[in-house]
Structures are given as structure tokens and as C-alpha cells.
Amino acid sequence: MKHLAHSFARPMRRIGGLLCMWMFAMLTACSTVPQKPATSAQAPAGHGTVLVRVTANSLKKMFSFSLEARPSGSKGAQQGIFFAGWGMQSEGYWTVVEDHLDKGQLVALQIPAGSYEFYRFHAQTATIAGTKSITPNPYFSVPFNVSPGETVYLGEVYFQFNDRSRPHLRTDLGDTFFAISIRDNRAKDLKEATGKIAGLDKSAVVIRLLKQP
């Protein structure tokens, strides 16, 4: 019975995320541009396709995580674009619950060509009192470019939380900090991308890895 209760408790811990995700979406809808995942290699005129893996590790009781980009030179988040790194739509969401495991996914978005920067993340975690939102303070900057008609692979943006052995950045919570690593997982990610994007030619993908911030 103890084992059964433990197995049942895991998915139940995620049920509260349904309401929390809705609340999170309502709070951020005014400051972000809704983006649907790219499903075709043919981008709209003046757009390019961005491939990037977004991963977080060791953020306690996390149930959603997104990386936000904005046009270079912007101030604030009025034109933000969300790259959803982890949430209820992610593969394995209901079974991968341990905090120390990597939680993330490959994101494919078609956005207007131009210069951008990843500058903050949005994380939601569960607490006894309800939910807690976490963002970096101050913001960071990881620039990237996308050209019209191209499909560009940026690599993996990997967020390691609460590892005091590494140089780290702060969040808006005093007891939570993080480090950013840029990883090259092109073999795995481009193979996965061909299953997500119809007509994608791996040989035509431009490799333009992000620079380590």
C-alpha cells in the first residue's frame, strides 16, 4: 500500500500545475508574442526557423520553465517571444519528477528575421503555500540572429540551478541561483527536429551556436 500511495502521489503533484499554468499564461499574455511550434520547413515570408534546446536542472519542484527572447536593443518585455522549455506538453512531464534530472525539450519556432537576445527565463515551482514564480535578477544576455528563409540551430541553453561550485547568477529569490551553459547537441537535436518539422533537410540547417554568456 505504501508503494501504491507513493506511485499515485507523483502524478497528483502535477495536477495543481493545470491551474497554475493557466494563471501563468494570463499573467504573461500581455507582454509576449504567442508562438506555435514550427511544423513545416517552409517559414512565412520574412521569417526564419530557430531550433534550440532549453533545459533546466535542480530547480526544486519545478513544473514549468520557459526561455524568453526579445529583439536586440529592446527594453522591457513588450515584444517578448517565449521558447517553452518544460511544461505539461513536454514528453515525460508526468513521469520525470525528480529535481536533479534534466527537464527540457527541443523548441522549433518560426519568427521574424532579425537580431534577438535571450534575456530571462520564467519558472514556476510548487510550494506548500501554492506556487512561486522565479526569474533572473538582473537579466542576462545571449544574442542570436536569424535570416529570412533559413533554419538555424543555436544549440542547447542549459540552466543549472543551485550549484555553488560554479560561478552563478542571481534570481529574484535570494536562495535560488543559476549558471548557464551552451551545449552542442546537434546530432541528437537535428535527428529529433526531422520528426517535428515536415520537409526539414538536416544538411540545409545552419549551425550558429550561441556564445557562452
| Residue 78: per-residue pLDDT | 56
- Tell me, what's the pLDDT at 188? 95
pLDDT at 76: 65
> pTM for the complete prediction?
0.81
Low-confidence ranges of the chain (pLDDT < 70): 1-35, 76-79
DSSP string, the chain: -HHHHHHHHHHHHHHHHHHHHHHHHHHHGGGEE--PBP-BS-PPTTEEEEEEEEEEES-TTEEEEEEEEEETT--SSTTEEEEEEESTTSTTTTT---TTS-EEEEEEEEEESEEEEEEEEEEEEEETTEEEEE-BSS---EEEEE-TT-EEEEEEEEEEES-TTS--EEBSSTT-EEEEEEE--HHHHHHHHHHHSBT--GGG-EE-PPPP-
